[in-house]
Amino acid sequence: MQESAGTPSGQWLLDVQGLCTWFHTRRGVVKAVDGVSLRVKQGEILGLVGESGSGKTITGFSLMNLVDQPGRIRADRLHFDGRDLQTLSANDYRALRGRDMAMIFQDPMMTLNPTLRVETQMIETVQAHESVSRRAARARSIDMLTKVGIPAPAERLTVYPHHLSGGMRQRIAIAIALLNSPKLIIADEPTTALDVTIQGQILYEVQKLCREMGTALIWITHDLAIVSGLADRLAVMYAGRIVETAPTAEIVRGAQHAYTHGLMASIPTFDTRGKKLFQIPGSTPSPLNMPKGCPFRTRCYRATPQCIEEPVFEEVAPAHGVSCWHRGVEA
Amino acid sequence: MTAAENILESGGQPAMRESMLRLFAEQFLASKLAVLGMILLALCLCLAIFAPWIAPQNPFDIGTLNIMDSKLPPGSVSGDGAMMHWLGTDGQARDVFSAILYGLRISLIVGLVSVSAAFAIGATAGLISAYFGGRTEALLMRIVDIQLSFPAILVALVLLSVLGKGVDKVIYALVAVQWAYFARAARGAAIVERNKEYVQAARCMSLSWQRILWRHIFPNCIPPLMVIATIDLAHAIALEATLSFLGVGVPVTEPSLGMLISNGFEYMMSGTYWIAFFPGIALALVVVAINLVGDHLRDILNPRNEI
Amino acid sequence: MSALVFAALYMIGDPVLMLASPEAGDAERELIRQSFGLDLPLWRQYLIFLNKVFVHLDFGKSFLTGEPAIGLILDRMPATLELATAAMLFAVLIGVPLGIYAGLKPESFGARSVMTGSVLGFSLPNFWVGLMLIMVFAVFLHWMPAGGRGPVQAFGPIQLSIFSWAGWRSLILPVATIAVAKCALIVRVTRAATRECLPQDYIKFARARGLSEARVLGVHLLKNILIPIVTVAGLEYGQVFAFAVVTESVFSWPGMGKLLIDSIITLDRPVVVAYLILTVVFLSLLNLVVDVIYTILDPRVQSKARA
């Protein structure tokens, strides 16, 4: 894996530099995403990890250009599949969504329209991007439902979403995302709302299908334990920024940012059994009232007066970048 | 209230109440339309209260009317040159402007009295049924449901056809029509309050149910009831006007705005528009002003309810 | 529930006093009493009445014309039917798009204007709107007649006036009068439903699938907001149909509502009672129809009903 400043962007499926999504509200500007940089290769699985409120979901919606009013998206660089997304017209972006870039949502109970049959919702997804017959679209839907492990797919097609369980609905949502063989799928905590057993199955199937179809995947989650078994590379997000990014193995072995340490340490393992689990003190700062400089300094045990200065994002090893004044492997 | 009760009350501290009031005022003033409505309403109230002093003519004093002055268009001077009829005169030579001021008076009195009475009766019925539940509640709410399934105008029409004409009778009919709205809203609000801890605490202090109901629960039910009362006031005024227009409302001797419009309606066909038009404008101004205030109040006081 | 209504109606006042002229002697009154069977005790009158209504579908004869009350009402029904249907159709066709627009861009100037307009629409009394329309379009512009119904043509067993231009000319003003108020209501319901539906995940997911905006709004949004809209529009249709009293009076429209108000004023009780019974039956039927449509629109209700 080669990664340096000189790499041409053609190598990257998704190349995002300095992504900012700000909400201009009456009470002030909420900087939900404030300078996120991400790169994803063809077929790569990236885990985007952060607490709730860290801006990871908004990052996903920003890439899809689905941020609600009064949100504004701005980036130094926003390239996908060799195209500059910031120059796309509304209709071009629409054509891109669901065909090249798909998304899976967190709560399967809410993502399917309750008043339309599963069939309708799948066929319209195909027909929005290709002029194929209803029959062909239906056949492709059945095929995809089989792939995501739904028994008796032809019957499932004719029912309404409320007849199906949460796990089943999430599989259908995944099947819908895969329908047009996208190049990238953004999965926003797709297993959080499900039972643990179903979580495992879905995790496994999504990973398998992405590998088979060569689809890149951004898996957004707050659960570092889940994603470290799945992703090729991890990006840790805090208060609207990426604080550390590295291949999964490297994070597990040698995380450099204090926040990543904290996350790692709060995963229960066999060693920590019976002991008090580590806990990062405090909570995420309000986006209306961010501390100056490093946003983590108010909760950080390494913080010094220097942290009032904005930390620089630096590469400490190939493909391993950290944004911290006091980085280090030792906790 | 006793000192112990004071502690029970949520938001009981004077400072907190004051700041809530200020917050409310700030929110209210944020809407220009609502402020406009409030100003218009205040203006109408002043005109109605001071009508005998403002009106250039007493429209009920037959002696001052000169039949030669009838149906004068707006801006005419009366035959004896004594006064200017800014809004013209009607078929009996009454000054339309003066008639509107007096009509406004009757309309507002009917509206205010009927809404106050309906508020008192409805709130009592609603609170009692919420507090006691069981059969009392089932019976009262059944009556409310039945009544609300019939439109107000119809119930009032049937009642008035039996009661006959008269300002007092119109008020009875309006109260009979409107108490149900208050009863339903009061019950809804009171059921929520009944289950809150301060009520449980008040019960533990074995206060009488009247005291719990009126001193503890009722004050917390006032906001939604105020919204209903405002909107109902407009509704009552419009309803009274409609009934009078249809000929079953106030008698000819005490013409409200609706009666004035009804009187002018027959002249309108021949192009003598002002006799009905100006009272119509006055009626619309009052009703719209109240509704603008009410609409905004609803936005502030119960934001969940959007319709 | 309907039994309660009749009973209440029968207990109000002595119909003989309404029937006989004030000069009539006791003997004359007694004669009237007997000829209508009013000398019997109340419960017997009621039983006879119920027997007639439900066994023979006989609602009694009009005191005024001597014709069967039910016939009188049914004769007038088509006129009201076309008035109510046309008005509701216009209200929905105009109200739903405006409501969606106001829901999509709640902060825009257009949406604010629509919402202020809707406050005007439902706060202005119905007869007032009719009056102003008559004044502008009939009296000054002479575009439409001020009242009455245009030429009718038979459509099956009923007479409708919607087949000719002249018929529409008479129809358009009363239709507009009713439509204004109902449109205001539909706008508010639609806006509230849209605002509730838009932030839902399934709308965002529909966009994330790359569906066109037309499909997202026209299918995904519309199918969900139709549920509350159909409920409200259906119930309102019933109200308009049964109680177009005011509009029909203003425009001398020969419908059921005009008949009702005439009957109330002339104290023709059998007609009033028959009207009320028919109305209750009609409203119950309509409720049923709305429930059925609701089940078709919302698949979640279906499975609950089946379970």
Yes or no: say if B94 and B103 are a contact pair by the CB < 8 Å rule.
no
d(CA C149, CA C161): 7
The number of domains in chain A is: 1
Q: Residue B3 CB: number of other CB atoms within 10 A? A: 6
Average pLDDT over residues C196-206: 89
B173 close contact with C: CB closer than 8 A? no
B40 close contact with C: CB closer than 8 A? no
Residue A72 C-alpha from the chain's centroid:
19
Among C1, C13, C246, whose Cβ lies nearest the Cβ of B146? C1
φ/ψ (deg, to 5) at B221: -95, -5
CB-facing half-sphere around the CA of A278: CA atoms within 13 A:
17
The answer to whether C224 contacts A114, with C-beta atoms less than 8 Å apart, is: yes
So what's the pLDDT on residue C187? 93
pTM over 0.80: no
CB < 8 Å to C202, chain A: 110-114
Q: Residue A230 CB: number of other CB atoms within 10 A? A: 18
Task: Establish if A243 belongs to a structural domain.
Answer: yes
So what's the pLDDT on residue C27? 64
Average pLDDT over residues A263-269: 78
The residue segments making up the domain with residue A298 are 237-331
Average pLDDT over residues C191-202: 89
Task: Establish if A68 belongs to a structural domain.
Answer: no
DSSP state of B218: H
Yes or no: say if A199 and A191 are a contact pair by the CB < 8 Å rule.
yes
Helix residue spans in C198-208 (DSSP H): 201-208
Q: Which residue has the higher pLDDT, B77 or A112?
A: A112
A95 close contact with C: CB closer than 8 A? yes
**What is the number of residues in chain C?**
307
Question: Could you tell me the domains of chain C?
Answer: 2-56 (no CATH), 83-249 (1.10.3720.10)
CB < 8 Å to A111, chain C: 201-202, 205
Task: Establish if A136 belongs to a structural domain.
Answer: no
The pLDDT tens digits of the residues spanning A180-202 come to 889 999 998 888 878 888 888 88
Rg of the Cα atoms in chain A? 20
Alpha-carbon distance C291 to nearest alpha carbon in chain A (angstroms): 16
The answer to whether C199 contacts A107, with C-beta atoms less than 8 Å apart, is: no
Structure tokens at A37: 């940089």
The pLDDT tens digits of the residues spanning A5-24 come to 444 545 789 888 889 888 88
Identity of the residue numbered B302: N
d(CA A206, CA B88): 82
Task: Establish if A252 belongs to a structural domain.
Answer: yes
Sign of CA dihedral A41, A47, A51, A53: positive
Task: Establish if A297 belongs to a structural domain.
Answer: yes
d(CA C241, CA C219): 30
Task: Establish if A263 belongs to a structural domain.
Answer: yes
Identity of the residue numbered C217: L
So what's the pLDDT on residue B49? 81
A80 bridge partner residues: A14, A83
d(CA B223, CA B243): 30
Chain B / chain C CB contacts < 8 angstroms:
98
d(CA B211, CA B249): 40
Query: Looking only at Cα atoms, what is the longest distance across chain C?
Result: 85
CB < 8 Å to C220, chain A: 113, 116
User: Is pLDDT above 80 for A288?
Assistant: no
C134 close contact with B: CB closer than 8 A? yes
What does the mean pLDDT of chain A come to?
A: 84
Alpha-carbon distance C224 to nearest alpha carbon in chain A (angstroms): 7
Interface test with C, best of B31, B150, B177 (most C CBs within 10 A): B150
Angle at which helix B218-246 crosses helix B167-194, to 10 degrees, equals 150
| C12 band by pLDDT with thresholds 50, 70 and 90 | very low
Q: Any residues with CB less than 8 A from the CB of C105 and at least 6 apart, and which?
A: C111
- Range 91-130 of B in CB contact (< 8 A) with C: none
Yes or no: say if C46 and C55 are a contact pair by the CB < 8 Å rule.
no
DSSP state of B69: G
Query: What percent helix, strand, coil does chain C show, rounded to 5?
Result: 75, 5, 20
- 3-state per-residue secondary structure call for chain A: CCCCCCCCHHHCCEEEEEEEEEEEECCEEEEEEEEEEEEECCCCEEEEECCCCCCHHHHHHHHHCCCCCCEEEECCEEEECCEEHHHCCHHHHHHHECCCEEEECCCHHHHCCCCCCHHHHHHHHHHCCCCCCHHHHHHHHHHHHHHCCCCCHHHHHCCCHHHCCHHHHHHHHHHHHHCCCCCEEEEECCCCCCCHHHHHHHHHHHHHHHHHHCCEEEEEECCHHHHHCCCCEEEEEECCEEEEEEEHHHHHHHCCCHHHHHHHHCCCCCCCCCCCCCCCCCCCCCCCCCCCCCCCHHHCCCCCHHHHCCCCEEEEECCEEEECCCCCCCC
So what's the pLDDT on residue C95? 93
The pLDDT tens digits of the residues spanning A214-251 come to 899 999 988 888 888 888 898 998 888 888 888 888 88
Yes or no: say if C80 and C244 are a contact pair by the CB < 8 Å rule.
yes
The answer to whether B288 contacts C191, with C-beta atoms less than 8 Å apart, is: no
The answer to whether C131 contacts B151, with C-beta atoms less than 8 Å apart, is: no
Q: Any residues with CB less than 8 A from the CB of B116 and at least 6 apart, and which?
A: none
Q: Which residue of A has its CA nearest to C223?
A: A115
Yes or no: say if C274 and C169 are a contact pair by the CB < 8 Å rule.
no
Structure tokens at C138: 């009939």
Pairing of strands A101-104, A184-188: parallel
| Rounded average pLDDT per 10-residue block, chain B, 307 residues | 46 55 75 82 82 72 63 65 66 74 85 92 88 82 78 79 79 88 86 80 79 81 83 87 82 78 77 77 86 81 50
Interface of C with A (CB under 8 A): 199-202, 204-213, 215, 219-220, 223-224, 227, 297-300, 303
The answer to whether B288 contacts C124, with C-beta atoms less than 8 Å apart, is: yes
Task: Establish if A276 belongs to a structural domain.
Answer: yes
Average pLDDT over residues C158-164: 71
Task: Establish if A241 belongs to a structural domain.
Answer: yes
pLDDT over 70 percentage in chain A: 96
So what's the pLDDT on residue A2? 40
Among C210, C215, C299, whose Cβ lies nearest the Cβ of A115? C299
Q: Is A15 exposed, middle or buried (0-12, 13-18, 19+ CB in 10 A)?
A: buried
A315 bridge partner residues: A321
So what's the pLDDT on residue A305? 80
Report the candidate in B289, B292, B304, B286 with the shortest Cα–Cα distance to residue B223. Answer: B304
Q: Any residues with CB less than 8 A from the CB of A313 and at least 6 apart, and which?
A: A37, A242, A321, A322, A323
CB < 8 Å to A99, chain C: 210
Yes or no: say if B71 and B90 are a contact pair by the CB < 8 Å rule.
yes
ipTM of the complex: 0.86
d(CA A291, CA A300): 12
Identity of the residue numbered C79: A
The answer to whether A103 contacts C297, with C-beta atoms less than 8 Å apart, is: no
- Range 264-303 of A in CB contact (< 8 A) with C: none
d(CA C307, CA C303): 6
The answer to whether A173 contacts C200, with C-beta atoms less than 8 Å apart, is: no
B95 three-state secondary structure: strand
| C90 band by pLDDT with thresholds 50, 70 and 90 | very high
Token look-up 């996908």 returns A80
Q: Which residue of B has its CA nearest to C268?
A: B161
Q: Which residue has the higher pLDDT, C52 or A85?
A: A85
pLDDT over 90 percentage in chain C: 14
Which of these ranges, A39-53, A144-158, C256-270, has the smallest mean pLDDT? C256-270
Angle made by CA atoms B171, B173, B178, in degrees to the nearest 5: 95
